[in-house]
């Protein structure tokens, strides 16, 4: 399965790849050069397909835990000041996505969308300390039953050029459902109440919709 946000890019890539394969056969007379060009066209097509893959996952829905919204590596677990919405200290858990990770964003919890805002910005590398404040990003707040307000932030990286966010204020959302996509990006930050029991460790691999980030 592929994510709908990749449909246009996949179609364009497929068209270009087929054209390259056919033109190489017609206009290049070196057998090995033709095969090399065709090989790289195929590899490029495969890379685009794997980037937009959208694996179906069974989700254990529960108000008692927060799930990882994306696939990637846990790179931050620390108390920080959150200046945009809470304007107070929160526990931040950040997940960094490499280009080979699934880039679908999933809702980390059940609840009501209280806040959803897009910010234009820079394209610093996703692990840059200022990325969460200066890069293109979206901020979404879910009102949950047990954790209170939980904020997650999609952050574009150096390669990302479009963040897709489906969360709209007033929506009721279900944990694990499709919340958006970061094209060729990057990082997601989650902000939890201070004192929340965290179930992951630094450098641990997280799986979106499966890994339990925190429990209550």
- Beta strand pairing status for 137-144 and 104-106? unpaired
Weakly modelled stretches of the chain, pLDDT under 50:
none
What confidence score (pLDDT) does residue 125 get? 59
What confidence score (pLDDT) does residue 130 get? 61
Tell me phi and psi for residue 140, to 5 degrees: -130, 135
What confidence score (pLDDT) does residue 138 get? 93
What confidence score (pLDDT) does residue 48 get? 81
**Catalytic-labelled residue, pool 17, 94, 132, 186:** 186
Q: At what angle do helices 7-27 and 31-51 cross, to 10 degrees?
A: 180
What confidence score (pLDDT) does residue 183 get? 72
Q: Is 98 a catalytic residue?
A: no
In terms of phi and psi (left: phi > 0; alpha: psi -120 to 50; beta: otherwise), the region of 210 is alpha
What confidence score (pLDDT) does residue 152 get? 97
What confidence score (pLDDT) does residue 45 get? 86
116-155 pLDDT tens trace: 999 886 666 555 556 566 678 899 999 999 999 999 999 8
Six-digit token pair at 138?
């979206």
């Amino acid at each position: 399965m592929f994510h709908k946000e990749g449909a246009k890019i996949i179609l364009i890539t497929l068209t270009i790849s087929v054209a390259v394969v056919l033109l190489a056969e017609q206009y290049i007379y070196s057998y090995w050069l033709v095969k090399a060009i065709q090989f790289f066209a195929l590899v490029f097509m495969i890379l685009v397909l794997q980037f937009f893959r959208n694996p179906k996952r069974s989700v254990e829905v529960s108000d008692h835990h927060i799930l990882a919204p994306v696939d990637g590596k846990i790179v931050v677990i620390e108390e920080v000041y959150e200046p945009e919405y809470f304007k107070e200290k929160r526990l931040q858990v950040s997940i960094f996505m490499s280009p080979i990770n699934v880039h679908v964003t999933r809702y980390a919890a059940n609840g009501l969308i209280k806040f959803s805002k897009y910010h234009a910005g820079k394209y610093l590398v996703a692990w840059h300390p200022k990325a969460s404040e200066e890069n293109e990003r979206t901020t979404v707040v879910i009102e949950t039953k047990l954790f209170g307000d939980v904020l997650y932030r999609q952050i574009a990286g150096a390669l990302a050029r479009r963040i897709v966010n489906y969360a709209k204020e007033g929506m009721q959302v279900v944990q694990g459902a499709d919340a958006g996509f970061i094209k060729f990006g990057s990082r997601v930050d989650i902000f939890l109440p201070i004192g929340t029991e965290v179930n992951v460790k630094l450098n641990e691999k997280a799986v979106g919709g499966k890994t339990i980030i925190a429990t209550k």
